[in-house]
Structure 1
């Protein structure tokens, strides 16, 4: 009742999983990952012990294939399990037990493992594989595109309910205090992948660093528009304000909306923030 893709970005040293299922809160069950170690997707009567056990094995230098063989050899219910793994070097492995409901199966390729069960047919897994192989950009976006491609190809035969993405990177989490680079879930939604992509785009807006080409001086038409938005949003009460008052109001807006990561030196702004203001 689930399909997922585990992937690795050798350049950025990121490991991640994207998953969708006709199941409530799939993100609490399927994805497991640790920076510098690997990623595991455990599903189909999921044995959640597979996550920490496989990560511990791979952290000790065991390959994804070896970790997978060890997992299933000790599980009497292995024929009901499905799992995909990526190890520290990006080597993939996937397994589908003989008692998983049709259609069920998986594909591995360079730096990815895609798998699913109770699918319309094998096209879902093939679409995920093709998308990952033919896409570029951040790992999270490649995984999300692959998940969307899988849904477009048929997806879970019972429909949609929840989706999640987990990407880990050393010191990639908020403030650099953990490795949860991207950790987002949609627990119950009629179109969870579309909603997950929307939330991911918000995540990038709030937490991704500003691009140099988007930093502009607060002057001319930009200054006029910024002032109008701040008045509309009640950060400015006066009919006319000087530069100091405008900067103070803009700073208050940035901090209220959690845009500290997009805050620029005085007299400058990130145009992505202004684009967000237009929609708010």
Structure 2
């Protein structure tokens, strides 16, 4: 009742799952990933224990195929199950039981496994796999591009309801403590995969630090802009001098804390281009 793709990025070590279904809150069932271990998608009358049990095996260094074999061997309902596994070396395995509802099947490649059941046809899985192989960028964007391709190819033949994207990265969570790098869910929506794409774009703005090349030096003109805009909402009470001094910096930090921009306010001498655009969109200069 679901289509999913799991993947691994050898550059960053990211491991993740993207999934969509005519099923409420599909991400709460299907998606499992752990940095340094692997990723698992468990679906079709899902045996949820495959998630934690499989990650435990992967964390011990068990390969994707061996992990899948052990999970299935212990499950009497294996012919109803569909599972994808990727390990931390990029090895992938997928399983579709004989009792899964048609169309059902999967495909693996370097660093990914794509699978689905009750689909409009095999082209859904093929679209996901091909798109993942051809898309550049971070794992999250590659997984989501693949999911969008599967959705456009027909997706779940019963319709649409939910979608989710989960990516694990060591220290990637907010605050740098855990590995929950990206965890986005659209639990009940008429068009969940495009909505998931919108949420990822918001995540990138609010929770992904800017790249060094995206930072602009705060010259006199930009400093004056910042002072003028923040003065409108009472964060800056000083002179409109065009000097980016301590008072101006403090006002911007205070505003950013309220607007959840702290992940992008990373410099005392530069400003992120996206933050500056955000200010310009929200205030009259």
**Fold shared by both chains (TM-score > 0.5):** yes
Which residue in 1 is equivalent to 2:208? 208
Any residues of structure 2 matched to 1:90-109 within 5 Å, and which?
A: 90-109=90-109
> 2:253 aligned with 1:254, yes or no?
no
Once the 2 structures are TM-superposed, how far is the Cα of residue 174 of structure 1 from its aligned partner?
Answer: 1.6
TM-score of the two chains, using structure 2 as the length reference: 0.91
Partners of 1:248 and 1:35 in 2: CA distance:
36
Which residue in 2 is equivalent to 1:24? 24
For structure 2, the 5+ residue unaligned runs are none
For structure 1, the 5+ residue unaligned runs are none
Partners of 2:123 and 2:271 in 1: CA distance:
45
Kindly provide the CA deviation profile for residues 224-278 of structure 1, in whole angstroms up to 9, marking residues without a partner as x.
543454345554578x634445433322211111211211433431111122234
Q: Give the root-mean-square deviation of aligned CA atoms.
A: 1.8
Kindly provide the CA deviation profile for residues 6-43 of structure 1, in whole angstroms up to 9, marking residues without a partner as x.
00011111111101111111111001111111000000
Contact 2:224 2:240 in 1 (8 A): no
Which residue in 2 is equivalent to 1:185? 185
> 2:6 aligned with 1:6, yes or no?
yes
Indicate the SS of the match to 2:154. coil
| Distance change in 2, residues 1:230/1:44 (3 Å) | same
Once the 2 structures are TM-superposed, how far is the Cα of residue 50 of structure 1 from its aligned partner?
Answer: 0.6
Q: Which moved more, 1:269-278 or 1:141-150?
A: 269-278
Q: Which moved more, 1:225-234 or 1:246-255?
A: 225-234
Contact 2:96 2:105 in 1 (8 A): yes
Partners of 1:43 and 1:279 in 2: CA distance:
43
Q: Which moved more, 1:169-178 or 1:25-34?
A: 169-178
Indicate the SS of the match to 1:42. strand
Aligned residues: 279
Contact 2:5 2:114 in 1 (8 A): yes
